[in-house]
Amino acid sequence: MSVSIQDAKVPTFANFVIGGISGVAAQIATHPMDVLRIRMQVSRNTLRDTALQTFGTNGVRGFYMGLSAGLLRQLTYTTSRLGIYSTLLDIGEQHFGYLNYVTMISLGMIAGIMGSFIGSPTDLILIRMVADMNLPTEKRKNYKNVVNGISDIWKTEGFTGLWRGAVPTMGRAAIVNGAQLGTYTRAKVMLQNTGYIQNGIPLQFAAALMSSIITCFASIPMDVAKTRIQNWRQSTKPPNIIAMIVNIVKTEGLISLWNGFVPSYSRAAPNTIITMIPSRTVVYVACLTRPAVKPL
């Protein structure tokens, strides 16, 4: 009963279960910010105009468009990335002891790439369901839910069509997870070293806020380009990620690469908090119930 959180370990499968459950909770809480982020990135409107347009067109329901795709994305992408990261971190600490910042970021990037490939189809459908609101009625896909979206893409674009934009999605995930997971872990260590915050929810909360700033700043340019590629509606093949970024800079200016920063951070900060804190809570319970086992 006296064993600390640092001395506890949960089974490997629990890392994946925790990731999925916490990801779903985070998505439900922050989905409106996801909707605003996507709509801003495809319409180039301000946050205020996007929010008013969303509410004016669909009411409160408009802020939860694509929720089924968002939830399935969490059950695939977040379950995988957090489970893989926690497992890799545990293995690394068991064999090498304390891991440096670069290693933590690298493990986060590996986990993000693997998880995003698995969750790429649901991410594609989420983008299209939300972006539909910006299009004229006759051009909309009108997916009823994520299953309908998967079925329609498979029929009209082929099985591989489900992975349209997978490369930029994986690139974004590498940046997001490297920054989020690696910086979150590093921020906790830094905060503990100050002596002001040692453990518990305040530590996790502060670390989540710090890591979210870095995550958003580093990942949004890739996210904007990825969203444009996944929502590509022209008959020609969409450009690759580099070409899309260059085109955005040329036609809209460099600052436009950070379009949607406010809703992105408003989503990322609580998302990180909701995602990370439950996993540590489970570890704490493991400490009380399994004092002999070694940590996460």
10-residue averages of pLDDT along the chain (296 residues): 45 73 87 93 88 91 94 91 86 84 86 93 94 83 92 94 91 86 83 79 86 90 91 85 93 91 88 69 46 42
SS3 11: coil
**Apex 150 CA angle, 77 and 56, nearest 5:** 85
Q: pTM (2 decimals)?
A: 0.78
Joined together, the tokens standing for residue 129 give 């369901």
Task: Give the position of tokens 């801003």.
Answer: 40
CATH for 5-289, options being 3.30.590.10, 1.10.274.30, 1.10.760.10, 1.50.40.10 = 1.50.40.10
> For the chain, what are the domain ranges?
5-289
C-alpha 11/C-alpha 111 separation (Å) is 18
